[in-house]
Structure 1
């Protein structure tokens, strides 16, 4: 598309040169977004820059630095050609279009992880771009008043969303389909959510939060994982409320746990059951065989791993709302790919790494305030505005809370040096760090014999 647009004359289509340049720049930024994903996952990838002249593309992989430099230059060159969000009121009909702030935010991502990507410290560059975004240099954005607004049905009106992929019933709504958020709830959740007629079909039980408790009812002492316990560290967090549809396209809470009750067609109160309807669910922050025992009991078998859990195992989560069939805006949410909170947290981390802990704390608090009742801020905010001390481990935990289930935990753990060195439920620390990047799949290797398997994996 970039090459085709470069051959065409904008005036033949009723465009100005500026509008045409904006279209080409958006395509270049989208390509850069894909390359950041590739660099993050595989590091060693081919570099393709032309569809029409493949001789311009690498035959095999190139050094990560070459991909990094390509992404950086593409984003920097594109920023000046992109439009600016001039006023508050959300992205509106421009949702899904790359803007100056979107490109600058991708540079923030690239620079924040540069040490892991290419062995270079770019925290100063990260801080500069992040600060400029926060200061409004690249457009008008502001934090939402509530944690869930960036994910709600009308998030095209949310000024926290810098870039979102548009979604709506009857169009594209991949984040409401199988293998994504549609499968982060129990298989028969439709009875509790009243979304049996939703266009994405029935739910399935594929994802849940890793457990905090062992099968004797005691907290694990692992250094990694246990996300629910990290939320419970601040019990006044409004996200800990049981997820519930409130009617009129409103909801509360992030998690599903315990018994999920609903009224059947006869008005009788029932509980969500397993997919086979052979037991009522009581969802726990643990993994094991719990059916047939009371909610306050623990099973005799103490084996807890990925193969031993039943449908009671692991808290489920609703990052995007599952509104009922009675709500007019069911499945209308756009996918929030980049939001201002990420830029603020990136800026806070840069300041923390420079030893400016108080400045970092205040930035994090500007987001955290919405997660707790105002009367509890002194107990829940970071010093000097509250009583909580901001440490490196707490900063990493806070990244996990704010961006729970937003597909960035892996790189955050890698950046903090914890991904391979820490122990998890059902996984010990690694002997080396080769799994910081993924193996290249057999299908890809068979399709291009110029590719070489990533280090540490069987060829």
Structure 2
């Protein structure tokens, strides 16, 4: 059983009774709770702290790839998309506009992202204000150091939300409390320095993990705050046009060396995303999830309608057949990948083709299936959908495949299957022309158990920071410093767990360049909500083409940031729009 320190805050309700005496009506208060009286137990302190963390969990892991943060980080890149499948998922072109970088102040999802970060800041500072002002930690019997631990976790959480805002929008209004006047946007540099200061103050006051594999509960420790500061420095060039790769490298090395707590790479990748991953040695910070308590990303919208039979578990919801990987093959089965022996005639791409970039000997590149006893295999749904463990079948959804047909998922997005009435569109390929079986599906998060093991459902936590990220950030820093051999070793230290024998395509000083580095980021962290940031850092997000996405061009570099949504500007008239929109 998992232990959850962060519990949704109790909403204080004032109950009143009205008694009528003569002609006067006066309220009689039978019970009330004000901050001075509310904090009478340790549990209530954690409840108040926890409200900010429940918002964070919603931002990071609500339906996983459809969460407010992940959607814009993935579905606008060469990794993942939501294609239109005839009339399914067209939604007025909302998903296609995001994939095509057709961003405006009214683009669906952009306001959700602004609201996610700004509400998170408000929740964190509000909780910190209340606890700082009204809680006597000594009187409530807290252990020594608890006050700093609680307050600095909330301060770090606020820094995380501010980083979220900086990454997506640039400079944002800065607050250290919920009190005071409405502020205009700070500059990028001011926002960057503000986040850096919050983290520098918080890190030494946060608790440190001292036992390898000790349970993660969603709380913030020193390593999580250090990872956030490393991310800040790692992307400083794109945030504030300042090279801080050496500063990032120093923090990453300290994280790997255990300065901020005890972690190590997990030898088995399924431990990182499996049913007991709250005790993975690799996870530094994760969103808690537990069956029948707070299940995160159970039944993501990528799953086909007929997956209940394949899983031997029909209770998983959200089988809406939505998002998938950007395809590797054209309508004729030729590769979109530059340099492939099976390359199509005409345009090929250095970016994209994520499924093809996983080596065929990689243990993740097999059909995802539950094996029993808490074990599972594979990270994708592709090909003929027959469960390799129990022989169960995913049947069609009465679109291009009949309910009696076994579904065949292809690494293509095109009109391939003839459909009466749609002859004019037959043979078209692109994000607008998907079919029921188009696109490989990612099954990385929350593996699905059989119904007989139902209590495992929803148990995998959702990783936010893993020590593997410190390895990859340090590797890229070394690459940029021309230490390609040192960079290759760090990446190979992670890659080796994915092969039962020797890695058939290790990273070397000879083959490591910016393209291979971006491929390695994609392969290791696909679906984890960082792809857009990586492309921006390498100046590829607006300058490069990938499948069905022409380069925006140098004149569209402003699209490395999203527009400020009109709702945000309407609620705070001091906020100015990003240039270019």
Scaled by the length of structure 2, the TM-score of the pair is 0.71
* Coordinate RMSD, CA, aligned: 2.1
Deviation at 1:83, TM superposition (A): 0.8
Distance in 2 of aligned mates of 1:450 and 1:123: 34
Unaligned runs of 5+ in 1: 294-298
| Residue 195 in structure 1 maps to residue 313 in structure 2 | yes
Distance in 2 of aligned mates of 1:226 and 1:421: 18
Distance change >3 Å, CA 270–CA 89, structure 1 → 2: closer
Distance in 1 of aligned mates of 2:201 and 2:537: 27
Deviations 1:338-377 (CA, angstroms, capped at 9, x unpaired)? 0000111001111111011101110111100001122x33
User: Residue 151 of structure 1: which of 273, 278, 302 is its match?
Assistant: 273
Deviation at 1:275, TM superposition (A): 5.8
| 1:54 partner SS | coil
Q: Counterpart of 2:321?
A: 205
Distance change >3 Å, CA 126–CA 262, structure 1 → 2: closer
User: Residue 50 of structure 1: which of 177, 180, 198 is its match?
Assistant: 177
Distance in 2 of aligned mates of 1:397 and 1:269: 34
Unaligned runs of 5+ in 2: 1-126, 337-347
User: Residue 282 of structure 1: which of 408, 412, 436 is its match?
Assistant: 408
Deviation at 1:322, TM superposition (A): 1.9
User: Residue 326 of structure 1: which of 452, 455, 479 is its match?
Assistant: 452
Distance change >3 Å, CA 275–CA 45, structure 1 → 2: farther
| 2:145 partner SS | helix
Distance change >3 Å, CA 10–CA 189, structure 1 → 2: same
| Residue 252 in structure 1 maps to residue 377 in structure 2 | yes
Q: Is the 8 A contact 1:44 1:454 kept in 2?
A: no
User: Residue 304 of structure 2: which of 186, 199, 221 is its match?
Assistant: 186
Distance in 2 of aligned mates of 1:357 and 1:308: 41
Instruction: Judge which range, 303-312 or 409-418, deviates more.
Output: 303-312
| 1:454 partner SS | coil
Distance in 1 of aligned mates of 2:461 and 2:323: 21
Q: Is the 8 A contact 2:223 2:284 kept in 1?
A: yes
Distance change >3 Å, CA 15–CA 380, structure 1 → 2: same
Q: Is the 8 A contact 2:153 2:219 kept in 1?
A: yes
1:31-430 to 2 correspondences below 5 Å: 31-51=158-178, 53-55=179-181, 59-90=183-214, 92=215, 94-176=216-298, 182-198=300-316, 201-220=317-336, 221-231=348-358, 234-261=359-386, 270-274=393-397, 278=402, 280=405, 281-291=407-417, 301-320=426-445, 321-327=447-453, 328-374=455-501, 376-377=502-503, 379-383=504-508, 389-430=511-552
| Residue 4 in structure 1 maps to residue 127 in structure 2 | no
| 1:261 partner SS | coil
Q: Point out which structure has higher relative CO (alpha carbons under 8 A, 6+ apart).
A: 2
Distance in 1 of aligned mates of 2:533 and 2:258: 27
Deviation at 1:292, TM superposition (A): 5.4
Distance change >3 Å, CA 427–CA 248, structure 1 → 2: same
Runs of 4+ in 1 over 6 A off after TM superposition: none
Count of aligned pairs between the two proteins: 431
Distance change >3 Å, CA 36–CA 408, structure 1 → 2: same
Q: Is the 8 A contact 1:154 1:333 kept in 2?
A: yes
Deviation at 1:441, TM superposition (A): 1.9
Distance change >3 Å, CA 271–CA 338, structure 1 → 2: closer
Scaled by the length of structure 1, the TM-score of the pair is 0.89
Deviations 1:278-298 (CA, angstroms, capped at 9, x unpaired)? 3632111100223459xxxxx
Q: Is the 8 A contact 2:291 2:456 kept in 1?
A: no
Largest Rg, 1 or 2: 2
Distance in 2 of aligned mates of 1:175 and 1:72: 31
Distance change >3 Å, CA 423–CA 344, structure 1 → 2: same
| 2:194 partner SS | helix
